[in-house]
Amino acid sequence: MKDHLLSINKVLRRRTEDARTKVRKITGQMAVEAGKVLIQTDRLAKKLIPETKNDRKICGNLLDTAKKVRKIIEQSESVNAGNTKLADRLISFKYPDARPIVKGKLGKRVEFGYKLQIQEVDGGIITGYQLYKGNPCDKILVNDALQKHVDLFGQAPSEMALDRGY
């Protein structure tokens, strides 16, 4: 697997259509290898008889990871078949509901995670925050932030400072 990941990284530097084709081929090979590992995982999970709470936790973690790997294999096969618009793709094992967020920066066009909106008043006191899944439009979020301020203080602020996304 490590060799495949390194080769993907090397190929992607080329940024050509041929590079994408090669990456999809490598991804397909990785999916086949991961499928073989999942077969072994299923066999092992059937043989495991959790006796303690810790054993049940380990078995649960194994089955959860296997479920995520299956989803990644399905996603890889779907992308390799030409479907590049996957609604709820899994991009992180640790944070399964994290999303790709297009930032448009030169060095890092896409970041992965969540969008956090923080509200503060004069003096730097944080009066509210909201963590969003995905990448909702900032223009929509400003109304939500304004309403939360009104709910908290009983009136709209006399001034607002926003970044250019708003």
The pLDDT profile of the chain, 166 residues, written as one tens digit per residue, is: 556 656 665 665 666 677 778 778 888 888 888 888 888 888 887 777 777 888 788 888 888 889 998 998 888 888 888 887 887 888 888 888 888 887 777 777 788 888 888 888 888 899 888 888 877 888 888 888 888 889 999 998 888 888 777 7
Q: Give the contacts of 25 (CB within 8 A, at least 6 positions apart).
A: none
> Tokens 């990871």 label which residue?
65
Q: Phi and psi at residue 132, in whole multiples of 5°?
A: -110, 140
128 burial level (CB within 10 Å; 0-12, 13-18, 19+): middle
Of the candidates 23, 42, 20, the one whose C-alpha atom is nearest the C-alpha of residue 31 is 23
pTM value? 0.61
Can you give the residue ranges of every domain in the chain?
2-90, 93-166
**Residue 9 to residue 17: CA distance in whole angstroms:** 15
- Token pair of 13 as six digits: 């530097």
